[in-house]
């Protein structure tokens, strides 16, 4: 799973935040911190969903868990600017993830 890539996309959806982090040379540390949080949340959701839905397909559990972890993280990230009316939707995030993680 490429958590840093996912986080970079989320940050790029918040141009003011992305630019401020970049200018202050804090983009990489923020990227790493948020990626670590996303990974931890994803793993926790996978565990919780596995227990709640025994016998379910592991890839379905992982996908569902990632959606929930992304939603949690998105809710915690600043929106950027007050007039930012195009937040990243879960569908957009999942489409991005599929584009960047499908490797056969």
What tens digit of pLDDT does each residue of 67-94 get? 999 999 988 877 654 444 455 566 666 5
Owner of token pair 């670590």:
36
pTM score, whole prediction? 0.72
Using 50, 70 and 90 to split pLDDT, how confident is the model at 1?
Answer: low
How many percent of the chain have pLDDT more than 90?
Answer: 60
Q: How far is the C-alpha of 6 from the C-alpha of 14, rounded, in Å? A: 13
Count CB neighbours of 67 within 10 A: 17
Query: Smallest Cα–Cα separation from 11: which of 78, 63, 85?
Result: 78
> How much is the pLDDT for 46?
95
pLDDT number for residue 39: 95
């Amino acid at each position: 799973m490429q958590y840093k890539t996912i986080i970079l996309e989320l940050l790029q959806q918040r141009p003011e935040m992305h630019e401020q982090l970049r200018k202050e040379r804090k983009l990489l540390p923020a990227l790493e911190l948020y990626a670590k949080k996303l990974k931890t949340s994803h793993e926790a959701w996978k565990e919780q969903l596995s227990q709640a839905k025994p016998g379910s397909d592991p890839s379905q559990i992982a996908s569902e868990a990632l959606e929930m972890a992304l939603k949690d993280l998105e809710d915690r990230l600043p929106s950027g600017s007050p007039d930012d009316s195009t937040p990243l939707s879960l569908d957009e995030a999942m489409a991005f993830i599929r584009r960047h993680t499908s490797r056969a």
